[in-house]
Amino acid sequence: MGIEALREVFAAALEIAPERVNAELAYNSIEEWDSTAHMALVAAIEQRFGVMLQTQEVLDLSSFGKAAEILRRHGVAFDE
């Protein structure tokens, strides 16, 4: 599954244009990444990639890059 799938998940959960999802996207960088969007993002990642994040991973998921790193630890391979 490509990194593009993760980008789509972010755009849909945060309700932002896909072009705004890039390597620099972080919790503190945009207003739309609010606490409700964070809940939606975690749920969407789990459903799309078939994983269950640990509580610490939910807390650590603070950027697009961090999400990719967490998913790699769960065995998700990105063909970048």
Partner 1 sequence: MTYHVASPSCMPHSDEIADLVAQYRRVPLRGRTITLVPYEARHAGEVVRLRNDARVRHYLHQPEELTLEQQLRWTASYSNRRDDLYWLVEHQGRFIGTNRLYGIGPTQAEKGSQIIEESVAAAGPFALESDLMLLHFAFETLRVEKVLAVIRSDSGKVLSMNRRFGFRDAALRTVRAVEFRELVLEAARFDPARLDALVSYWSNRVGH
Residues at the contact surface with partner 1, assessed by CB under 8 A: 15, 31-40, 43, 52, 55, 58-59
**Cα–Cα distances in angstroms (integers) from residue 43 to residues 2, 9, 11, 38, in the given order:** 19, 10, 14, 9
- Name which of 3 and 44 has its Cβ closer to partner 1: 44
What's the CA gap between 49 and 28, in Å, rounded?
A: 24
Question: CB of residue 62 vs partner 1: minimum separation in angstroms?
Answer: 9
CB of 29 to partner 1, least distance (A): 11
Q: Shortest gap between Cβ of 14 and partner 1 (angstroms)?
A: 9
* H or E stretch covering 46: helix 35-49
